[in-house]
A = this chain, B = another copy of it.
Amino acid sequence: MAIPIELNKWVKEICAGNVRALARAITLVESRAPEAHELLRALFRHSGRARILGLTGAPGAGKSTLVDALAREFRRAGKTAGIIAVDPSSPYSGGAILGDRIRMQSHHADPGIFIRSMATRGSLGGLASATADVATVLDASGRDLVMIETVGVGQDEVDIVELADVTVVVLVPGMGDDVQSLKAGIMEIADIFVINKADREGADRVEKEVRAMQSLSPRLDHWTPPVVKTIASEGAGIGELAEAITQYEEYLQSSGLDVRHRVEHWRSRLEEMLREEVLQQVVRTRLDAATAERYAAEIAEHKRDPYTLVDEIIASLAR
């Protein structure tokens, strides 16, 4: 880890918008190295100004193109953007994310848009936690807008986009029963729905289905998520989407829900951070690779029961 004076210089560079310093910081944070704490602690002070936007939806819904178009829209208004593309299932493949990155970086040689792909789900840390920390770094670096884009519709994706102040769920016509199958988990977290590729047949039907669902289970906070139709590849509807985002943010502010949400956010993130830190400590001090292997072998042979072992390890921590 850098000595404090080095750290200070680094933090200053990040906050001044130095892209190389920013990239280095994200790499450290992403590695979940214990040293990242020092840096995050220093950067936290400078965070809290960015708008954090989460986007999710089924594969093939055109999320990347949409994020891309939205970033350009914000750039036109003189704002800077940071994009975090997260693929929780990617330790197994890795290709999609890389393709994404190349595609998007070829799109802009604009330092006002910073793109980072995240995939590795280390066994010692939650991807949601790592994503949140990267968002904090981007926030501290002065990006006006931080977009977190996830691929897929599982619980991981829900956890990740819930880090955001505003959550956009991207639907697309012609996915059959998909609005139905998305119902569990994803539909409930949308503050704004986007029907992308809206020139395709069935866009109206998707909208009708979303509306039907909304009338069945209205949100407790009385916000009815608007449905915005876009054709991201042509830039159509992007202005309307930006407007919908602004409207929701105004609603949050006027209702005082923004404060409530931020507290909720920190409550769950604090727990996640604790979970991660404590486990790292336990593993570092009580369960190095060789010990873990030996224990696992003994359990597999039924020479040891795992429940007693866990209790013993935890009791040893208290000593």
Contact = CB atoms under 8 A, between A and B. Distances in A.
Contact of A90 (B59, B177, B184, B302): B184
A19 interface: no
A190 to B, nearest CB: 11
Interface in A153-180: 153-158, 177
Contact of A155 (B60, B89, B185, B263): B89
Interface string A267-278: 111110111011
A309 B156 contact: no
Contact of A263 (B40, B93, B268, B296): B296
A79 interface: no
Contacts of A87: 184
Q: How large is the interface on A (under 10, 10 to 19, 20 to 34, 35 or more residues)?
A: 35 or more
A254 interface: no
Given A89-B184, A273-B310, A275-B278, 14 more contacts: A41-B307, A88-B155, A89-B154, A154-B155, A270-B292, A270-B295, A271-B279, A275-B275, A275-B279, A275-B282, A277-B310, A277-B314, A278-B279, A279-B279
Contacts of A266: 295-297, 299-300, 306
Interface string A88-108: 111011001000000000000
A41 B305 contact: yes
A274 B121 contact: no
A177 B58 CA distance: 12
Contacts of A40: 307
A278 B314 contact: yes
Interface of A: 37, 40-41, 44-45, 48, 59-60, 87-90, 92-93, 96, 121, 123, 152-158, 177, 181, 183-188, 259, 262-271, 273-275, 277-279, 281-283, 287, 292-293, 295-297, 299-300, 302, 305-311, 313-314, 317-318
A277 B59 CA distance: 35
A271 B287 contact: yes
B305 A259 contact: no
16 contacts: A45-B305, A96-B184, A154-B156, A154-B157, A156-B156, A265-B300, A267-B292, A267-B293, A267-B296, A270-B292, A270-B306, A273-B306, A273-B310, A275-B278, A277-B314, A317-B317
A300 B259 contact: yes
Nearest to A289: B267
Contacts of A90: 184-185
